Structure 1
Amino acid sequence: MTSTMGGVERAAMRGLLGRLGEGVAPAPEWEEAFWAVPRHVFLPDTVWVGDDLVVCERGADPEGWLRAAYADGPVVTQVNDGREPGGELWPSSSASAPSIVFRMLAMLDVADGDRVLEVGTGTGWNAGLLAHRLGSERVTTIEVDSALALRAAIGLKGVGLAPRVVNGDGAAGYAADAPYDRIAATCSVREVPGAWVEQTRPGGVILVPWESPWCCYGLLRLTVGTRGTAIGRFAPHSAFMLMRNQRTDLRIYRDVVRDAQVPDESGTRLSPWTVAGKDWAARFALGLLLRDVWHAWHEGPDVDGVASRLWLATTDATAWAAVDRAGEGAERFTVWQHGPRRLWDEVEAAWRWWCAGGRPGPERFGVTVASDGRQSVWLDSPHRPVPVFRGGR
């Protein structure tokens, strides 16, 4: 236990455990680790909270900072990759919500003697929980950001733990300590790196948050087989920052749409909120079916007769579409499409396929990954591959 543990911190920790409740609370071995590896020890003095990224300074607002440390929610611990913000703030590292941390640790299902590679050290808290449970010598954690890796190592030392902290590209894994019984990522991926499969022993598990350009949602749990492949299914929920080497920094007006472009006009009865609203199962499925299409909402665009607009574009910025709603109660929507692909047509085809299949949730989808990185997505069985909807004019 660290010297920073006083009555206020203990009360905050007890409060968090009480709020987690039945079905979410950590198993006894992880609760023991929670008390030995306090979350607040791993947070920097400056954090950002809420969707608006409101800055919270430990020195100026110690009570607010501690509330953030023991709320069941993510805490942003770095913005703009650690560079001095010159304008817009965007999160680049965070401490995940405790409930999802404990859920992932349960799904990882470690046993005494297991060797674990964690990809994405971040604050170091998750690595600390693993090291307390398994022993420092059995945990390796890798972080691409050298400043984050150093700060995490200092935090771990402060609670008496010394897992191997590596500054490097997590997509390559860490072959020096392989093979691993478990690989756990604390960043989302759009493709599972083949190196992770190579570095996991047969029967071992890879657990990773999932993201598509359309939707960040879901956890993928893979079991590695004897022939250099890994296979597994998704579970719902979770949203993590994307692995840095898989990022795409695209904006509609900066990178995609040009004034001289003349789109084709059509109409649709499929509501844009149906495919890009609050139905996470639909959004998750469309992300698997479309693969390289992303979207952005534009509320109140400066266009006569348009109350809101859904933009769609490909990750290579060669095609785009927009769907306009005139006002409340509208049953038909105006569609604009430009480029070599008809993106809204692809969305409608993917939606029809998903509906015809019974609107399956994330748990019915799975992935097979080869050690060379090739991967296939399937529904219910590896023998039922999921189609990719990618059409032209």
Structure 2
Amino acid sequence: MTAEWAAAFAAVPRSAFLPDLMWPHDMATGRCEAVRRKDAPEEWQRYADSDCPIVTQWDDGAHEGGEPGRSFSSSSSMPSLVLAMLADLDARPGQRVLEIGTGTGWNAALLAHRLGADNVASVEVDDVVASEAREALKRCGFPVTVVSGDGALGHAELAPYDRVVVTCGVRRIPFAWVEQTKPGGVVLSPWGTYYGPGEATVRLVVDEDGRSATGPFTRPVAFMRMRSQRLVRPPHGEYVTAAASEVAERSTTTVTEAELLGGGGFDAAVGFALGLRLRDVVHTPDQRRDGRRAVWFYGLTDRSWAVVDFRESRSEARVHQAGPRRLWDEVESAYRWWVAHGRPDHTRFGLTVLPTGTHAWLDDPAKAWQV
């Protein structure tokens, strides 16, 4: 806890913004179990006060009942992450903040306690979630402006903002956020690529002319995707057809399974770096069975594909690839680049956002490439 936020966290309990039925998420197992306040009030309160993420909605609201749904679509982040992001945001009394992704409303309430409700606006894409958050904020004495709409558009009516904080994972930084932020202001957002699940928060400072924003990645995170930026990839069968398999180029590689996949998890340095170097590529590792694992790569702008077949019994892995792009060649080149630059993690990378697109860089913003 930091001195700047201690009073807000003490005065604004997370429990005041959680629903009666919630699903605490076990980070170790990836499992969620339903907890109802009316059935188990002490357990419910224990989870509300714990440092764990809590799922509050499944399947964009289509889910019913106590069992977990197919995919979580709204949640309350773990308090330690909320605090860390507020510290990175560095919002100060007198400043105006735009939040993208209201969720339960707890984060907006923390901001409102320190900055004043009139200085906080929040945008939520889900009408039901927005309505519930709006009521919770009013009930707790923080009548923050909660807008139902697409967060990618920001909220121009109350712009310009000193700070923009994003509580959903994005794959593209909408330039509207930069345009609606004052020169010298900050846009803090979880960001990643379609290559894999790895994300990190990027802290962008808007340039004095307001036409760009640049900054480093600060910490690894894992957020639900902005709904308009969710990955929609054609099924495997549309890539790996019988005809494509017949003409697939065959080769081998000395890159090992461990080198390619790293230690796994959301903060694997190699996966994050490869995503920065490979445009419009997604990878999918199969489950490892009997000393064998296949890792697939798919192009998102055409039907290029590649597969690497790792086996414990072989010193080299077999590669098949087909389509307009030679995806494995691109992946291996990106991997060799990462190794040659000292295997950097997210802390050495950053982004520059322009009206024409987003560029990534390693150590030096002057040496950026488009992502």
Q: Does TM, scored on the shorter chain, surpass 0.5?
A: yes
- C-alpha separation between the residues in 2 aligned to 1:78 and 1:384? 42
- Aligned 1:198-217 pairs, distance under 5 A: 198-215=179-196, 216-217=198-199
- C-alpha separation between the residues in 2 aligned to 1:217 and 1:321? 24
- C-alpha separation between the residues in 1 aligned to 2:217 and 2:329? 27
**Structure 1: where are the runs of 5+ without partners?**
1-25, 389-393
Residue 61 of structure 2 corresponds to which residue in structure 1? 82
Letter in 2 for 1:37: V
Residue 360 of structure 1 corresponds to which residue in structure 2? 344
Q: 1:333 to 1:387 in 2, by over 3 A?
A: farther
Residue 101 of structure 1 corresponds to which residue in structure 2? 82
Does the CA-based 8 Å contact 1:286-1:351 persist in structure 2? yes
Residue 5 of structure 1 corresponds to which residue in structure 2? none
Residue 356 of structure 1, CA deviation: 1.2
Q: 1:330 to 1:64 in 2, by over 3 A?
A: farther
- C-alpha separation between the residues in 2 aligned to 1:292 and 1:211? 12
Q: 1:387 to 1:83 in 2, by over 3 A?
A: closer
**Structure 2: where are the runs of 5+ without partners?**
none
Residue 286 of structure 1, CA deviation: 0.7
TM-score (normalised: structure 2): 0.90
**DSSP 3-state at the match of 1:192:** coil
Q: 1:254 to 1:66 in 2, by over 3 A?
A: farther
Does the CA-based 8 Å contact 2:89-2:186 persist in structure 1? yes
Residue 27 of structure 1, CA deviation: 1.2
Which residue, out of 22, 26, 35, partners 2:10?
A: 35
Which residue, out of 221, 225, 238, partners 2:221?
A: 238
Residue 316 of structure 2 corresponds to which residue in structure 1? 332
More divergent stretch after superposition (90-99 vs 274-283): 274-283
Does the CA-based 8 Å contact 1:310-1:323 persist in structure 2? yes
Letter in 2 for 1:310: V
Residue 259 of structure 1, CA deviation: 4.8
- C-alpha separation between the residues in 1 aligned to 2:235 and 2:328? 16
Q: CA deviation digits over 1:288-347, x for unaligned, max 9?
A: 00132112221157xxx87222121122461222222223x6432122212221211111
Matched, 1:223 2:205: yes
Q: Give the % identical residues.
A: 46
- C-alpha separation between the residues in 2 aligned to 1:260 and 1:43? 53
Does the CA-based 8 Å contact 1:275-1:286 persist in structure 2? no
Residue 68 of structure 1 corresponds to which residue in structure 2? 47
Residue 58 of structure 1 corresponds to which residue in structure 2? 37
Q: 1:52 to 1:319 in 2, by over 3 A?
A: farther
**DSSP 3-state at the match of 1:92:** strand
- Aligned 1:256-271 pairs, distance under 5 A: 256-262=239-245, 263-271=248-256
More divergent stretch after superposition (179-188 vs 309-318): 309-318
- Aligned 1:1-393 pairs, distance under 5 A: 26-48=1-23, 49-50=25-26, 51-84=30-63, 89-215=70-196, 216-227=198-209, 228-250=211-233, 252-253=235-236, 256-262=239-245, 263-278=248-263, 280-299=268-287, 307-316=292-301, 318-327=303-312, 330-370=314-354, 372-386=355-369
Letter in 2 for 1:123: T
- C-alpha separation between the residues in 1 aligned to 2:288 and 2:349? 36
Residue 39 of structure 1, CA deviation: 0.6
Does the CA-based 8 Å contact 1:293-1:314 persist in structure 2? yes
Residue 251 of structure 1, CA deviation: 6.4
**DSSP 3-state at the match of 2:215:** strand
Does the CA-based 8 Å contact 1:47-1:75 persist in structure 2? yes
Q: 1:60 to 1:335 in 2, by over 3 A?
A: farther
Residue 159 of structure 1, CA deviation: 1.2
**DSSP 3-state at the match of 2:365:** coil
- C-alpha separation between the residues in 2 aligned to 1:255 and 1:115? 48
Letter in 2 for 1:81: D
- C-alpha separation between the residues in 1 aligned to 2:253 and 2:281? 19
Residue 143 of structure 1, CA deviation: 0.4
- C-alpha separation between the residues in 1 aligned to 2:115 and 2:89? 13
Does the CA-based 8 Å contact 1:248-1:315 persist in structure 2? no
Q: 1:249 to 1:137 in 2, by over 3 A?
A: same
Does the CA-based 8 Å contact 1:209-1:238 persist in structure 2? yes
**DSSP 3-state at the match of 1:311:** strand
Q: Number of paired residues?
A: 358
Report the aligned-residue RMSD: 2.2
Residue 260 of structure 1, CA deviation: 4.8
More divergent stretch after superposition (284-293 vs 166-175): 284-293
- C-alpha separation between the residues in 1 aligned to 2:96 and 2:138? 20
- C-alpha separation between the residues in 2 aligned to 1:356 and 1:300? 28
Letter in 1 for 2:136: G
Q: 1:223 to 1:269 in 2, by over 3 A?
A: same
- C-alpha separation between the residues in 2 aligned to 1:42 and 1:317? 44
More divergent stretch after superposition (223-232 vs 102-111): 223-232
More divergent stretch after superposition (353-362 vs 277-286): 277-286
